[in-house]
């Protein structure tokens, strides 16, 4: 059984100025962030612009990431596709690249047909065929679907489905899943905005966009919680809410990449039709980072 205890940054995918995949920049960011005591990395999550990449590029990104991730740190790979066949194929590619587990966002294009029976069949087929463990990914902001607790628990019944990344922020639902799931099922907070409340409910860690630019702070919230230093944890959690909001639901991937450029990592462009940040918006972002006390990434 893999332990997902700790903090994982969901890495943005690096593109050059012509929007071509840059494996070297992906590896540069991983090596820079590996100076921090992170539990591992997620490659090709929502912040990784998974839906913008061809299958060939996804495979290349998996391999590039694995080559740079140090021994002892976990590699999670986003492998969710719109068909079961595609998802099985991507999960197999991630396994061949050396991923430790696959994070699978459910199909969402045909929302009206994605009922409990369809999603159970999808996830169980993927898990059955996969050489590596599978985690469920609930991301209503991007998928337009918010998986209910009963559906998550039914999907999680397969022995090779061992965890959940929940980015929805519904803490009552998260608590229900944690309380009623099978032994060993691990839940990860999908946003630094509710990391501490999720930990208090029994989440084992977080896959946090903010951990790309504020790894120290995200790790410290986690450590404060483990050490029982709740006043310090609450204070730092509150401090991190504005920058987390800025690089997630307020301005999204372009803001996260701009913040990375600003703090010494490689952000670069997002793929069109996502537009770059306007200069005045960037300045607002940088003010938020400064006010939160976020420092440049150590080389």
Q: In the structure, how many helices (H) and strands (E) does the chain have?
A: 12, 9
Residue 106: the pLDDT is: 97
Low-confidence ranges of the chain (pLDDT < 70): 299
Residue 218: the pLDDT is: 98
Residue 61: the pLDDT is: 98
Residue 282 bears catalytic tag? no
What distance in Å separates the CA atoms of residue 196 and residue 221, rounded to the nearest whole number?
7
Residue 298: the pLDDT is: 79
Asked if residues 131 and 95 have their Cβ atoms less than 8 Å apart, the reply is yes
What distance in Å separates the CA atoms of residue 97 and residue 85, rounded to the nearest whole number?
19
Residue 1: the pLDDT is: 83
Of 246, 201, 199, nearest in space to 219 by CA:
199
Q: Is the whole model's pTM more than 0.85, yes or no?
A: yes
- Which of the residues 25, 165, 173, 257 is marked catalytic? 165
Domains observed in the chain? 6-234 (3.20.20.70)
10 burial via Cβ count (<10 Å: 0-12, 13-18, 19+): buried
Q: Tokens for 61?
A: 């990104």
109 burial via Cβ count (<10 Å: 0-12, 13-18, 19+): exposed
Cα first-last separation, the chain: 33
């Amino acid at each position: 059984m893999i332990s997902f205890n700790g903090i994982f940054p969901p890495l943005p995918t690096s593109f050059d100025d012509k929007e071509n995949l840059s494996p070297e920049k992906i590896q540069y960011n991983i090596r820079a962030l590996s100076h921090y005591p992170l539990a591992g990395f997620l490659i090709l999550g929502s912040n990784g612009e998974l839906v913008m990449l061809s299958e060939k590029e996804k495979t290349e990104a998996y391999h590039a990431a694995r080559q740079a991730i140090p021994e002892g740190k976990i590699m999670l790979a986003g492998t969710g596709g719109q068909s079961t066949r595609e998802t099985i194929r991507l999960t197999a590619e991630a396994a061949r690249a050396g991923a430790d587990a696959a994070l699978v966002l459910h199909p969402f294009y045909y929302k009206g047909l994605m009922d409990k029976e369809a999603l159970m069949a999808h996830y169980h087929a993927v898990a059955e065929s996969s050489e590596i463990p599978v985690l469920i990914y609930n991301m209503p902001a991007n998928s337009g679907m918010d998986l209910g607790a009963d559906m998550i628990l039914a999907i999680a019944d397969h022995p090779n489905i061992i965890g959940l990344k929940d980015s929805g922020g519904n803490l009552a639902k998260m608590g229900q899943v944690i309380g009623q799931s099978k032994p060993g099922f691990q839940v990860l907070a999908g946003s630094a905005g509710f990391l501490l409340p999720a930990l208090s409910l029994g989440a084992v860690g977080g896959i946090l966009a903010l951990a790309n630019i504020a790894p120290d702070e995200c790790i410290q919230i986690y450590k404060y919680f483990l050490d029982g230093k709740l006043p310090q944890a609450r204070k730092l959690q509150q401090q991190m809410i504005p920058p987390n909001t800025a690089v997630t639901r307020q301005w999204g991937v372009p803001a996260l990449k701009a913040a990375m450029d600003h703090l010494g990592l490689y952000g670069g462009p997002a793929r069109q039709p996502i537009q770059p940040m306007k200069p005045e918006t960037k300045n607002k972002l940088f003010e938020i980072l400064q006010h939160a006390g976020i420092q440049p990434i150590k080389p």
